[in-house]
Amino acid sequence: MADLHTHTNLSDGKMPMRELVDLYGTRGFGAIAITDHLCETNSFLGKASRYLRCTLTENTFDSYLDQVNSEAERAWKEYRMLVIPGMEITKNFLSNQRSAHVLAIGVDRYIDPNLPIPELCSAIRSAGGIAVAAHPVSTKKVEKQTFHLWSRREELRGSFDAWEVASGPHIFEEVLHSGLPMIATSDLHVPKQISAWKTVFSCEKTQEAVLQSVRSQELSFSFYEEASKACNGLFPGNFSFCPPRANLARSG
């Protein structure tokens, strides 16, 4: 089980990176990606993020990557858990229709967040990573929404390796029935958000194997909830589903 969209206090998450790694490692997860925000610099909201220090920058990226690599080494030794470097390239505007977030997973170099979306995705792939459209439809929460990618989904279909079909506890029905490649994540910022849909892999526990499984859609999804709250182990109700089947299946 993997969570490929998480945040630390180096952007807008609440936990230090070590605490985040331990949260997942002690619960037996096989892999996580750390994807702190990297905000573009041209918009008012992008500039505000830099002023408030809730984004990575070109100047802080190397130290961020060093910390990810250090925690990856510790996570493997202590938990046999894979930690994958990444970032959430964040283009926020006052209009939800103009806003877009792109996960760059498996990328170990700085990418200019001001690039247009197709060039951005190309840069992510050139760096060996996968480009994922983050929460492209309504998250069903009172928060900033990011609809730009979804409104251009046909134009951008070939640019992305996957689209988030779930971000936290909610399934995005539009994505589920779209025929697009998918992953499910928590978009975790605080510990309680670990109760969410997750992606399950059956590949070798290496970064390239995980990324390739996303590209080829050799994966499935399952809902994780803390054992203390679960009515049936860690997977209450045993809800799970596999792409490309466009419905939820209850196993067991």
Structure confidence by residue, pLDDT tens digits, 146-166: 999 999 999 999 999 999 999
Total of domains in the chain: 1
What average pLDDT score do residues 203-227 get?
A: 96
Q: What are phi and psi of 241, to 5 degrees?
A: -155, 160
pLDDT category at 243 given cuts 50, 70, 90 is low
Q: Which of 40-54, 60-74, 146-160 has the lowest mean pLDDT?
A: 40-54
- Return the pLDDT at 164: 98
- Return the pLDDT at 56: 97
Checking if the pLDDT of 90 tops 90, the result is: yes
Task: Report the distance separating Cα 12 and Cα 46, nearest Å.
Answer: 13
Checking if the pLDDT of 103 tops 60, the result is: yes
> 22 to each of 18, 120, 170, how far by Cα in Å?
6, 31, 25
CATH of the domain at 39: 3.20.20.140
Task: Report the distance separating Cα 165 and Cα 180, nearest Å.
Answer: 9
pTM given for the model: 0.92
- Return the pLDDT at 156: 98
Mean pLDDT of the chain: 91
What are the residues facing 141 on neighbouring strands?
none
